[in-house]
């Protein structure tokens, strides 16, 4: 790519052919270094670490050999080597200047539109403060990247490794708008070494990734190892917030039937109304009413789904104490959607006479 100097490294070399490199046996005989320092020791890092270690065991079963390694002085080498904060403003200016008809010409103009989400505004404003393209701080950060890359590749060579492995993110991924902590992605970004993340399972309905990293220009070998792992496992799930199009259109609202049990008939207490699911926004909507009970006797109506370790847990308080009718929109997580689609969600009516649950009304999405 004549517009990307980083691709000059391929001059005189064969271009990697990733499809041709795919090999279900690529992990057989591969030597993988477990970067122990990137697993973390904090309690909130335990769940992701367990899944990644389980995935490493699976790679061993597929023929890989593993060894626990460390990279000398890694923390000192990587600190201050990030450049995205220095480059964003200037790269956007270059991009817009080469984009005919662009509605804005800079990061500053993007901010002036008032159309930036609050979760991004502080960081974007900070990056817009850069006053010169090649500041001393930027050049110092660039100078740290080569020693960092050399240290990582020296470790790969010293232990005769084909790749390093570690959690992509050490903590459970955050929802949009919340800060993400525990990311290990800067190692690949700041060294420029080929890296790939593969799914290794779910925690509380959100995916956990395992990162593999190799030497310069060993991208095709890395893709082959990741492919071999994915073909032998079944961790990827279609995101529930991006349903498949139906004849090139977004899917229609789904009616969620309220299925009553025998307890309603015996007690005289009943719950009626309507419920529907918007599969695009992943929101579950209720318009419900209780009958056969006084307002003062109502403690609430909760939406429940199974806990992974057994029993039930509450997804949302749909109706508050002292109410006999409610309209409520519940934002569903991926775990909620899995439970709903499996017929494992219900409304539980709590009353003073039955504070642990007077009746259950099961939710049945009709397709």
For position 78, what pLDDT does the model report? Answer: 96
For position 263, what pLDDT does the model report? Answer: 52
Q: Which residue is listed with tokens 């991926």?
A: 334
Distance, in Å, from the CA atom of 201 to the CA atom of 209, rounded to the nearest integer, reads 8
Residue 261: which pLDDT band, with cuts at 50, 70 and 90?
Answer: low
Q: Is the pLDDT of residue 264 over 60?
A: no
For position 11, what pLDDT does the model report? Answer: 87
Q: Residues 53-59: what's their mean pLDDT?
A: 97
- The predicted-structure confidence for 196-241, as pLDDT tens digits, reads as follows 999 999 887 788 999 999 999 999 999 999 999 999 998 987 776 6
Q: Is the pLDDT of residue 300 over 80?
A: yes
Is 254-365 in the same CATH topology as 5-232?
no
Residue 247: which pLDDT band, with cuts at 50, 70 and 90?
Answer: confident
Q: Residues 96-124: what's their mean pLDDT?
A: 92
Taking a C-beta distance cutoff of 8 angstroms, is the pair 239, 334 a contact?
Answer: yes
Spell out the residues 6+ positions from residue 329 whose beta carbon is closer than 8 angstroms to its own: 283, 284, 285, 286
Helix (H) or strand (E) holding 326: strand 325-331
Q: Is the pLDDT of residue 167 over 70?
A: yes
CA 206 to each of CA 175, 240, 345: distance values in angstroms, whole numbers, following the listed order:
9, 11, 19
Fold of 254-365: Immunoglobulin-like (2.60.40)
- The predicted-structure confidence for 325-353, as pLDDT tens digits, reads as follows 999 999 998 889 889 999 999 999 999 99
What are the residue boundaries of the structural domains of the chain, listed by start? 5-232, 254-365
Spell out the residues 6+ positions from residue 114 whose beta carbon is closer than 8 angstroms to its own: none
Pick the CATH number of 5-232 from 2.60.15.10, 3.90.550.10, 3.90.1300.10, 3.60.10.10: 3.90.1300.10
Q: Residues 109-117: what's their mean pLDDT?
A: 92
Give percent of the chain with pLDDT exceeding 70. Answer: 97
Query: pTM of the entire structure?
Result: 0.73
Q: Is the pLDDT of residue 321 over 70?
A: yes
Q: Residues 238-264: what's their mean pLDDT?
A: 80
For position 216, what pLDDT does the model report? Answer: 94
Distance, in Å, from the CA atom of 190 to the CA atom of 171, rounded to the nearest integer, reads 21
HEC sequence for 278-319: ECCCCEEEEEEEEECCCHHHEEEEEEEEECCCCCEEEEEEEE
Q: Which of 233, 144, 227 is nearest to 191 (CA)?
A: 144
Spell out the residues 6+ positions from residue 88 whose beta carbon is closer than 8 angstroms to its own: 107, 124, 127, 130
């Amino acid at each position: 790519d004549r517009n990307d100097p980083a691709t000059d490294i391929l001059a005189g070399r064969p271009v990697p052919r990733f499809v041709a490199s795919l090999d279900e046996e690529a992990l057989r005989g591969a030597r993988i270094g477990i970067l122990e320092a990137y697993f973390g020791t904090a309690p909130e890092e335990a769940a992701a670490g367990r899944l990644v270690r389980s995935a490493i065991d699976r790679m061993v079963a597929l023929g890989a050999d593993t060894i626990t390694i460390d990279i000398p002085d890694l923390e000192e080498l990587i600190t201050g080597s990030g450049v995205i904060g220095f480059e964003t403003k200037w790269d956007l200016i270059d991009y817009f200047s080469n984009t005919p008809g662009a509605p804005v010409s800079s990061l500053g103009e993007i901010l002036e539109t008032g159309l930036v989400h609050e979760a991004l505004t502080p960081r974007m404003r900070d990056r817009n403060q850069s006053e010169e393209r090649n500041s001393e701080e930027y050049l110092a950060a660039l100078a740290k990247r080569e020693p960092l890359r050399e240290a990582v590749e020296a470790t790969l060579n010293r232990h005769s490794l084909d790749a390093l492995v570690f959690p992509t993110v050490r903590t459970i991924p955050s929802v949009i708008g919340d800060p993400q902590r525990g990311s290990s992605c800067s190692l690949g970004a700041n060294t420029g070494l080929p890296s790939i993340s593969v799914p290794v399972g779910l925690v509380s309905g959100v995916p956990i990734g395992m990162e593999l990293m190799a030497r310069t220009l060993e991208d095709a070998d890395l893709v082959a190892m990741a492919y071999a792992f994915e073909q032998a496992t079944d961790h990827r799930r279609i995101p529930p917030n991006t349903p498949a199009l139906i004849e090139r259109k977004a899917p229609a609202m789904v009616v969620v039937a309220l299925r009553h049990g025998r307890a309603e008939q015996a007690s005289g207490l009943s719950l009626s109304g309507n419920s529907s699911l918007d599969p695009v926004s992943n929101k579950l909507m209720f318009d419900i009413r209780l009958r056969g009970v006084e307002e003062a006797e109502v403690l609430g109506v909760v939406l429940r789904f199974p806990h992974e370790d057994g029993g039930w847990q509450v997804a949302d308080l749909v109706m508050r104490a002292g109410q006999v009718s409610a309209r409520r929109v519940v934002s569903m997580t991926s775990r909620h959607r899995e439970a709903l689609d499996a017929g494992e969600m219900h409304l539980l009516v709590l009353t003073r006479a039955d504070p642990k649950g007077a009746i259950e009304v099961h939710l049945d999405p009709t397709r």
